[in-house]
Structure 1
Amino acid sequence: MRKTMAATAAIAVSLTGASVAAHADERGPVRGPRPISVELSVLGTYHTDAFDESAAEIVAHDPDTQRLFVVNAAAATVEVLDVSDPEEPTKLFDLETAGVAAADGSTVAEGGVANSVAVHDGVIVVAVEAEDRTEPGWVVFFGADGVPLNALRVGALPDMATFTPHGRALLVANEGEPSDDYTADPEGSVSVVRMSGDPRGLTQDDVDTADFRAWDEGRELHSGVRVFGPDLSTEEPGTPGRVARNLEPEYISAGARGTAYVVLQEANAFAVLDVGAAEFTDIVPFGVKDHLESGNGLDASNRDGEARIENWPVYGMYQPDGFDTYRWRGRTLLVTANEGDSRDWDGYSEEERLGSLAADTPLCEDSPRLRDFLADNDQGIGTVDELLDDANLGRLHVSAEDGLREDGSCYEDVYAHGGRSFSIWTADGERLFDSGADFERITAEADPDHFNANNDESSFDARSDDKGPEPESAVVGRVSGRTYAFVGLERVGGVMVYDITDPRSAFFVRYLNNRDFSAEPGTREAGDLGPEGLTFIEADDSPIPGVPVLAVANEVSGSTSLFRVDRVVPGRR
């Protein structure tokens, strides 16, 4: 069904009536239907009118001033928006990072790129990468008036910054990606900045660095943690080794008990950080999703001409990007958006289409998993050649690094990037819930003509061979005593809402896509394209007293939209 909201034809699906069919998959139909728990409605949108230039990436909210801070990576600035009237968000000014003097004597470079923004108690922090991303970057501190207060040097490619709950520390994920030609590969790390009083008094001595060198020095690394690709480490004393260079912190969620969790996306793992000691205490693999299992189907081809969600002999590496944490029965749980990501640089790439990969190194025809699939499947596929047809698995992007038999003669298993889902995990890596094939099924029902569309064109089935709807970011929010996950879909667009009050029986509530496929991408009429960063504004902090608000920054359309989050009582409208 379609609703017109603001000037955009927004697509909405909820778990009532016909949409029960969208939630029914190989696991069987939903028993119910369940009542709608929350409703999303568009309040207002701020437009940069910069199409496909990363003009709205990460968004943070300050409840004291009712301002949003939105990273405009293309301009290397942060735009400050007044959302005291959320129906009419208005730009106030920019936070300019270039030229700010840092405590170590350096100056934030003109060519730096803003990657992240965080706010706590009137202090705004912007993470900025160096012009050469393999060099150390900065975090720049601003006051509420937009005047720069200080800057500190952090690791290479600071990609995400967040404060601990009480603001005692600032945590910065230094991704440490290699150069395009892979001749330089800095180590990944997390900078821990001890916040004490006025940020103008901070010095470089207030920055501690948590690194992964212990795992190069004999600490056992779990076999499920992916460490792969070129090894540029040296044997010189005091230099980082292969593991320290290979692991790339992507996103951080800080708990209230001195522990933070750090996603290592390409490694398909997360690290546990002792904030007080500025040390990693563990690295936990996420494992893989079996797309042969009931409920875990996927559409694997962009050349099959239909929304065809089937079970395939493929493992999906969860590889989340954005995630959040919440407490349940005294335990910390991780809520992950399982985007998937490969190492794909000019000097090295692990990514290849399965058909091309198998042309060079074949699939192992004696693999029990492959043999059983070819003997009994619903698609009528009986040979490897049929399996590798472009309409089946031939075009699926997979990893050349995983699944190879020990002697290198053939591929025993097939590994794709991402889970096309969101998951809930315990802090020791036990998966309590995964949304399975829900995202592809629900979006197929919402708009069959634009299933697995891309975010820069009104296409059909353009992303099935890659990562499907590509869940990018997940945030957790409380509404009237219940807990919800809000998950942004980077490609087709929109936000999925799940009730995760009991993580063992989480369920789909609503999908809203503030996008009009009939309008030309790049125009305001097309709506929001490429949701990248989500922020949930609690009812007590909201610009609408007592009503939560969801803020979504959209990378491709360069727009930032605010959504009202209302509790819906069954039988009452």
Structure 2
Amino acid sequence: MKHYLLPMLFCVCMFSCKKDSSPAPEPEFFVNEDPATFAEIGTIDIGDVGAAEITAFDPATNRLFVVNNGTVNKIDVVDFKDPSKMTVVNSISMAPYGGAVNSLSVFDGKVAAAIEATDKQANGKVAVFKTDDLSEVKVISVGALPDMITYSPDGKYILTANEGEPNTTYTNDPAGSVSIISVADNYSVTTVDFSAFAGQKADLMSKGFRIFGVGNDFVKDIEPEYITISADSKTAWVTLQENNGIAKIDIAAKSITNIFPLGFKDYNVDGNEIDPSDKDDKFAPAKWPVKGIYMPDAIAVLEQGGVPYLFTANEGDSREYTALTEVKRVKDITLDATAFPTAATLRGDAQLGRLNITTTLGDANGDGKFEALYSLGARSFSVWNGNTGTQVFDSKNELDAKVYAAGNYDDGRSDDKSVEPEGITVGKIGNKNVAFVGMERADAVAVYDVTDPTKPSFLQLLKCGDAPEGVLIIPAKNSPTKKSLLVVSSENDGVIKVYTPNTI
């Protein structure tokens, strides 16, 4: 018995020794931070209008890469080792690649740029550069007007939302599309459009999806805006801003699997009150017989309990071309007397007269008299179930109210889209999930605790530069300060501001 037991004990010993000698897994990096205490620690001005639209951070080099379409189209490179003392150390010219650079994304020592063609209706490019020596890695052709770019979390894919805007006469209107680039496969690209859903046009439009360009061409009329990707890098969601929808994409299959119409917001119910006049010199929210069209710009995903929650900044956007102008003020249209018995009063400047509405909705019978009014955007951020497209939360009129309380409300925008939520991002700060909502017309960022994504709660409002476009979280584990950082870049003044929270 002992003869057999000794070898067995020896094997157990060997197994135990091997197990114990293995390196222990690295503990998760954690800093206990209070997300209600973000404060500015650094600022840099890199130009004027068109500068500092979007930023991307590379932790390997501690560099911040910044879209700058000010005087020339370029990517500025900012030394970010000390966020309180940022300096521009280099730049990458976009002249060899086309026109303006619209978006940036960083992964594993490489920065990918979405670049529109000089002729905006022609195919754009993605250019990939090393973050250390800025040398070119690869140039890939994508769809027309790539407006946003992102790496998948695992770095295996690069996706671009190709807006495909028409020229001003609508004689050249490229298809809106999404390009899916396989990094490991020598950056091979597949560009997909929405033609597979053309047969669903009537059903989608009945649920609030918008097809209204010249010719009402389904494929050409869809305009992808912004992308977010699941943590497992398998699924992407893309906002279709002008169309008032979100598309869902199977990345590996390189196919669009769903389009979610977003419907409309009712400004005539409690909590959704708006101020529709820019001529009353005050913030006077009230209920009005008007619908808002969500039309989200930026989108972010937070996965919890098996559900992907999609956070959208409901900016709104109009089509203003020589061949198509969709917006008019209420006082410049005819209201249906049955639907609006007090039409004469409503059309006054003190009530709805100044409000900009779309003329593509509301006149169902085509008699020139509007039975319903639809304004652009929703003056809010929303949360949607990414599996079903169902709305689970909307901030109602809280952004307006918080901005007004802080003394930042611009009544000159009441008639249009108010504070215009444009940028949004979600990340972990301390032990809480937090959303940051950039508002273009309030020059501010709202901070929300979204630990329960169905019940976001307001934490604070941060003043920033003029017209914030990019809202970027740098996690503490990647940060040069080893604390979480919020980077806000503003397109109207070229100002980048950096904020950090207090530790607990």
TM-score (norm. length: structure 1): 0.79
Unaligned runs of 5+ in 2: 1-33
* 1:295 and 2:271 correspond: yes
* 1:439 and 2:399 correspond: yes
CA distance, structure 2, for counterparts of residue 219 and residue 351 of structure 1: 23
> What residue in structure 2 maps to residue 562 of structure 1?
498
Contact 1:304 1:392 in 2 (8 A): no
**Deviations 1:461-505 (CA, angstroms, capped at 9, x unpaired):** 111111111111000011121111100110121110111111222
> What residue in structure 2 maps to residue 326 of structure 1?
302
**3-state DSSP of counterpart to 1:477:** strand
Aligned residues: 465
Worse overlay, 261-270 or 304-313: 304-313
Pick the structure with more strand per residue. Answer: 2
CA distance, structure 1, for counterparts of residue 73 and residue 396 of structure 2: 37
> What residue in structure 1 maps to residue 50 of structure 2?
54
> What residue in structure 2 maps to residue 534 of structure 1?
471
Q: How does 1:385-464 map to 2 (within 5 A)?
A: 385-427=344-386, 428-447=388-407, 450-452=408-410, 461-464=411-414
Using the TM superposition, give the Cα deviation of residue 37 of structure 1 relative to its aligned residue in structure 2, in angstroms. Answer: 4.7
**3-state DSSP of counterpart to 2:170:** coil
CA distance, structure 2, for counterparts of residue 394 and residue 298 of structure 1: 14
Contact 1:97 1:140 in 2 (8 A): no
**Deviations 1:107-141 (CA, angstroms, capped at 9, x unpaired):** x23xx111111110011111110111001010011
Give the letter for the 1:336 counterpart.
Answer: T
> What residue in structure 2 maps to residue 455 of structure 1?
none
* 1:214 and 2:196 correspond: yes
Picking from 258, 270, 285, the partner of 1:282 is: 258
**3-state DSSP of counterpart to 2:369:** coil
Q: How does 1:9-24 map to 2 (within 5 A)?
A: none
Decide whether aligned partners of structure 1 residues 319 and 558 sit closer, same or farther in structure 2, where only a CA change above 3 A counts.
Answer: same
CA distance, structure 1, for counterparts of residue 126 and residue 401 of structure 2: 41
**3-state DSSP of counterpart to 1:134:** coil
> What residue in structure 1 maps to residue 422 of structure 2?
472
Using the TM superposition, give the Cα deviation of residue 338 of structure 1 relative to its aligned residue in structure 2, in angstroms. Answer: 0.7
CA distance, structure 1, for counterparts of residue 195 and residue 35 of structure 2: 46
**3-state DSSP of counterpart to 1:443:** helix
Superposition CA RMSD, Å: 1.6
Runs (4+) of structure 1 exceeding 6 A deviation are none
Give the letter for the 1:59 counterpart.
Answer: T
**3-state DSSP of counterpart to 1:503:** coil
> What residue in structure 2 maps to residue 244 of structure 1?
219
CA distance, structure 2, for counterparts of residue 416 and residue 222 of structure 1: 19
Q: How does 1:489-568 map to 2 (within 5 A)?
A: 489-514=439-464, 528-545=465-482, 547-566=483-502
CA distance, structure 2, for counterparts of residue 493 and residue 476 of structure 1: 19
Q: How does 1:81-120 map to 2 (within 5 A)?
A: 81-99=78-96, 108-109=97-98, 112-120=99-107
CA distance, structure 2, for counterparts of residue 37 and residue 57 of structure 1: 24
CA distance, structure 1, for counterparts of residue 270 and residue 201 of structure 2: 38
* 1:254 and 2:226 correspond: no
> What residue in structure 2 maps to residue 366 of structure 1?
338
* 1:41 and 2:77 correspond: no
**Deviations 1:526-551 (CA, angstroms, capped at 9, x unpaired):** xx111011111111111211x11000
Contact 1:221 1:283 in 2 (8 A): no
CA distance, structure 2, for counterparts of residue 341 and residue 407 of structure 1: 23
Picking from 103, 118, 134, the partner of 2:121 is: 134
> What residue in structure 1 maps to residue 433 of structure 2?
483
Give the letter for the 2:178 counterpart.
Answer: V
CA distance, structure 1, for counterparts of residue 50 and residue 358 of structure 2: 27
Name which one, 1 or 2, has greater alpha-carbon Rg.
2
Unaligned runs of 5+ in 1: 1-35, 100-107, 233-241, 372-382, 453-460, 515-527
CA distance, structure 1, for counterparts of residue 202 and residue 359 of structure 2: 25
Decide whether aligned partners of structure 1 residues 408 and 175 sit closer, same or farther in structure 2, where only a CA change above 3 A counts.
Answer: same
Contact 2:237 2:248 in 1 (8 A): yes
**Deviations 1:91-115 (CA, angstroms, capped at 9, x unpaired):** 111122322xxxxxxxx23xx1111
Contact 2:94 2:100 in 1 (8 A): no
Contact 1:56 1:558 in 2 (8 A): yes
Using the TM superposition, give the Cα deviation of residue 366 of structure 1 relative to its aligned residue in structure 2, in angstroms. Answer: 1.6
CA distance, structure 2, for counterparts of residue 299 and residue 219 of structure 1: 34
Using the TM superposition, give the Cα deviation of residue 221 of structure 1 relative to its aligned residue in structure 2, in angstroms. Answer: 4.7
**Deviations 1:151-202 (CA, angstroms, capped at 9, x unpaired):** 11111001111011101110011100000122110000001111117xxx44
Q: How does 1:53-202 map to 2 (within 5 A)?
A: 53-74=49-70, 75-99=72-96, 108-109=97-98, 112-144=99-131, 145-196=133-184, 201-202=186-187
CA distance, structure 2, for counterparts of residue 73 and residue 565 of structure 1: 31
Contact 1:314 1:414 in 2 (8 A): yes
Using the TM superposition, give the Cα deviation of residue 220 of structure 1 relative to its aligned residue in structure 2, in angstroms. Answer: 6.8
Give the letter for the 2:259 counterpart.
Answer: I
Using the TM superposition, give the Cα deviation of residue 46 of structure 1 relative to its aligned residue in structure 2, in angstroms. Answer: 1.4
Contact 1:250 1:262 in 2 (8 A): yes
